[in-house]
C-alpha cells in the first residue's frame, strides 16, 4: 500500500512524459498533494479547475440517467494530455488523480495502465 507522497512519486518516475500529478478532493477542489508542475502549470489551480470538469460529467451522467461510473476523463491539448482518474477503492470516494503528460513523450495507453496500478496501490 502506498501513501499519497509515494503514489505521486511513483507516477512521476514510472510514467514517461509526466509533467505533474495531483491527488484532488472534488468535493472541495483542493489538491491533497502535488508533485511536478511549473510556473506555467500550477497544479493547485488545475486541481480546482478540473474539479468542475468532474462535477459537470457527473451531473451529465445523472441527467442522462447513466448508471455507471467514470473510469477516467481524457483532455487532449496540442502539446499535453490531461488525465483525470476517479478513485474507487479504500476511502478514495470523492477523490481523483490528475496527471499531466507531455504528448510528444508520453504513451497514453501505458500512462492509463500505470495510473490504474497506482490507484490500486494507493491507500488514502
Tens digit of each residue's pLDDT (9 = 90 or more) over 8-53? 999 999 999 999 999 999 999 999 999 998 888 999 999 999 999 9
pLDDT of residue 80: 96
SS3 state at 116: helix
CA 70 – CA 65 distance, rounded (Å):
13
* Local structure of residue 49 (DSSP, 8 states): H
Residue ranges per domain, the chain? Answer: 4-121
CA 121 vs CA 8, 78, 79, 114: distances in Å: 11, 31, 29, 11
pLDDT of residue 39: 85
Q: Nearest 5°: CA angle at 88, between 34 and 35?
A: 10
pLDDT in tens, 58-107: 999 999 999 999 999 999 999 999 999 999 866 567 899 999 999 999 99
Contact 75, 81 (CB under 8 A): yes
pLDDT of residue 120: 87
| pTM listed for this prediction | 0.92
75: how many CB neighbours lie within 10 A of its CB? 12
pLDDT of residue 99: 97
The CATH class of the 4-121 domain is alpha beta
Amino acid at each position: 500500500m502506498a501513501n499519497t507522497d509515494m503514489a505521486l512519486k511513483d507516477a512521476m518516475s514510472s510514467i514517461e512524459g509526466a509533467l505533474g500529478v495531483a491527488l484532488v478532493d472534488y468535493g472541495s477542489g483542493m489538491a491533497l498533494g502535488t508533485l511536478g508542475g511549473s510556473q506555467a502549470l500550477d497544479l493547485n489551480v488545475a486541481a480546482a479547475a478540473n474539479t468542475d470538469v468532474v462535477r459537470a460529467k457527473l451531473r451529465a451522467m445523472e441527467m442522462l440517467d447513466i448508471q455507471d461510473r467514470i473510469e477516467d476523463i481524457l483532455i487532449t491539448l496540442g502539446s499535453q494530455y490531461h488525465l483525470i482518474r476517479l478513485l474507487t477503492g479504500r476511502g478514495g470516494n470523492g477523490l481523483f488523480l490528475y496527471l499531466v503528460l507531455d504528448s510528444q513523450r508520453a504513451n497514453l495507453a501505458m500512462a492509463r495502465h500505470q495510473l490504474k496500478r497506482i490507484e490500486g496501490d494507493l491507500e488514502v
